[in-house]
Structure 1
Amino acid sequence: MSSRFRHAALVGKYQARGIQGPLEEIAQFLVRQGLDVSLERDTALNTGITDYNALTHAEMGRECDIAIVVGGDGTMLGSARQLAQFGLPLVGINQGRLGFITDVPIGHFADALAPMIAGDYEEERRTMLEGGVWRDERLIFDGFGVNDVVVSRGPTSSMIELKVTIGDEFVGNFRADGLIVASPTGSTAYALSAGGPILHPGIAAWVMAPIAPHDLSNRPIVLPDVGRISIEVAQGRDASVNFDMQGMASLLPGDRITVARSSHQVRFLHPLGWSYYATLRRKLHWNTGV
């Protein structure tokens, strides 16, 4: 049980067709529940909803005490990267297809949100990744990731060779289409497609998974999420790196990507009775045939 929320920020996947109606319905519901409501600025500008204050992410972090995110996991990831530094809790209303972290069905948002905004919910905190790209010992790009950091080859180039160091210890050279460093949250995303294991979010670990490695003995490995991973581009043209699909292209041989655990955590709120295992069972169809 927690104290009642007072001011909700509403974020929507404004590119989605027909999003304005559901956003207005959710906003009106929140107002009837006694909350002040503000819209994230880009959501307001792109949907034409003008009945509520429009706030930047920084203003949301200062003025609001809960964020309601309407869309799919991609929308939630973007909001989480922006709002984690403010400790603002997020609730995901799923208007997408898969929805590992947007777990409230849009058709049942009222039943789920009413007790949550009154203080009855399950809360979990997820670790984040942060890192940067170094060229000639100069930081040229940095970013945060809730899911993963991915180094990959260019669209027309051959395999790349990546030199991996963890802490001060050389681990190995990997020839592959790329390399994924994923958090437990990201273990059910790209890393899963690359053959990596699923990590429970309560485990303080990362998955490091090569993408289509040249040597089949290069297998995914689970690592403790302490220290720093360094990935140097030893060979390869047109490689790129992205943090939750927010990226930098045109890496050069000798560029070094560093990945470490962020000091920020994401706060996710779920309806009472929420279960991580039930989410896996439902999303990955583990109950097929039962």
Structure 2
Amino acid sequence: MKPLFRQVALIGKYPAAVAGSQAATIRAALEDIANFVASRGCEVVLERETAAASGLTGYASLDVPGIGEHCDLVLVVGGDGTMLGIGRQLARFGVPLIGINHGRLGFITDIPLGRFRTALEPMLAGQFEEDHRSMMQASVVRDGECVFEATALNDVVVHRGTTSGMVELRVEVDGHFVANQRADGLIVASPTGSTAYSLSAGGPLLHPSAPGWVLAPIAPHTLSNRPIVLPDAAEVTIELVSGRDASANFDMQSLASLLHGDRITVKRSQHRVRFLHPHGWNYFDTLRKKMHWNEGHS
């Protein structure tokens, strides 16, 4: 039978410091997955850095944009951080992603490494659940000019410096003044990011299909400053009024240093990330498992 996915890319980013038995385990896992996918009639393509780091040979390799242009499916082996980085890069191509968890928590890399064969067999034949995730497009504007741009799948965080006190932030939504907030910082989180930093700051969980953002203050000076859910069609602007060494983080992977008067604007990206999950997957099963709900009950 002709496979549903003709070209399948395999990506696994790991720190260069990994060595010894752990590196051998990672290489063996990547090789097992590549061989399994190839045995199902798919052409396997390795991401270029993955191929170099693992030493795997015998498969074609492409950089990430090349994968987006030429491949029908991407298997990401790692943790949620790996998936966040790859998802942001590949969203504009519309290629679907499957996460195989070789990390710790695994909210979006949900297939355990030890069970990848059982999960992938029906998925490669077309039996899966598709899940689209919204992203944010963010920019830092200084004196009327954009000095930094980034996309985020989880969150945009404006945070105080490591040694200074609170920051004061002026918040606007669609040009309407909301409040001046004094806090350690402020999080704008997507539904995907509602289980990340926003959750630890007291924010609510949002279902991935909910068209909204969470605006959550970090340790606010005024306790009545509470998290609020906004429509994701809204444009959120955060201006740094005061505070030293403040910064803006985008998925905690890219960073912009801020000056007083800088305005961070967050709006919905035109692109969405496509995740594929095993047939029968649902978000509440993931929440129960990862949040340890109902432990001790059958």
TM-score (norm 2): 0.95
List gaps (5 residues or longer) in structure 1.
none
2:171 aligned to 164, 167, 172, which one?
A: 164
Paired with 1:184 and 1:208, the residues of 2 have a C-alpha distance of: 11
Task: Tell me how far 1:246 sits from its aligned partner.
Answer: 2.2
User: CA offset at residue 245 of structure 1?
Assistant: 1.0
**In the alignment, structure 1 residue 132 sits paired with structure 2 residue 139:** yes
User: Equivalences for 1:234-273 in 2 at 5 Å?
Assistant: 234-273=241-280
Which of 221, 232, 243 aligns to 1:225? It is 232
What is the match of residue 103 of structure 1?
A: 110
Residue 122 of structure 2 corresponds to residue 115 of structure 1: yes
Structure 1 partner of 2:180: 173
Measured in 2, the distance between the counterparts of 1:238 and 1:165 equals 22
Structure 1 position 58, deviation (Å): 1.2
Give 1:84 shift.
0.4
Aligned equivalents of 1:227 and 1:275: distance in 2?
Answer: 28
2:8 matched to 1:8?
A: yes
AA at the equivalent of 1:92 = G
1:196 corresponds to 2:203 = yes
Once the two structures are aligned, what percentage of the paired residues are identical?
Answer: 60
Count how many residue pairs are aligned between Structure 1 and Structure 2.
Answer: 288
Kept in 1, the 8 Å contact 2:154–2:192? The answer is yes
CA–CA distance in structure 2, aligned partners of residues 85 and 250 of structure 1: 27
Asked if structure 2 preserves the Cα contact closer than 8 Å seen for 1:133 and 1:142, the reply is yes
Runs of 4+ residues deviating >4 angstroms: none
Q: Which amino acid aligns with 2:60?
A: N
The answer for the alignment partner of 2:47 in structure 1 is: 40
Q: What per-residue deviation string (whole Å, max 9, x for no partner) do you get for residues 101-137 of structure 1? A: 0010000000100110111100010100111101111
Q: Is the 8 A contact 1:73 1:99 kept in 2?
A: yes
Deviation at 1:96, TM superposition (A): 1.1
Q: Quick check: 1:14–1:47 contact (8 Å CA) kept in 2? A: no
Q: Secondary structure at the match of 2:74?
A: strand
Query: What is the aligned partner in structure 2 of residue 282 from structure 1?
Result: 289
8 Å contact kept, 1:150–1:179:
yes
Cα drift, residue 280 of structure 1: 0.3
Q: Could you report, residue by residue, the CA deviation over 1:8-35 in whole angstroms, capped at 9, with x for unpaired residues?
A: 1101032253311100110011110111
**Contact 1:121–1:270 (CA under 8 A) maintained in structure 2:** yes
Aligned mates of 1:195, 1:50 — CA distance in 2: 47
For 1:248 and 1:112, how far apart are their aligned partners in 2? 36
Partners in 2 of 1:14 and 1:28 — Cα distance? Answer: 20
Worse-matched range after superposition: 248-257 or 228-237? 248-257
Gaps of 5+ in 2: none
CA contact (8 A) 1:183 1:205 kept: yes
- The SS at the match of 1:5 is coil
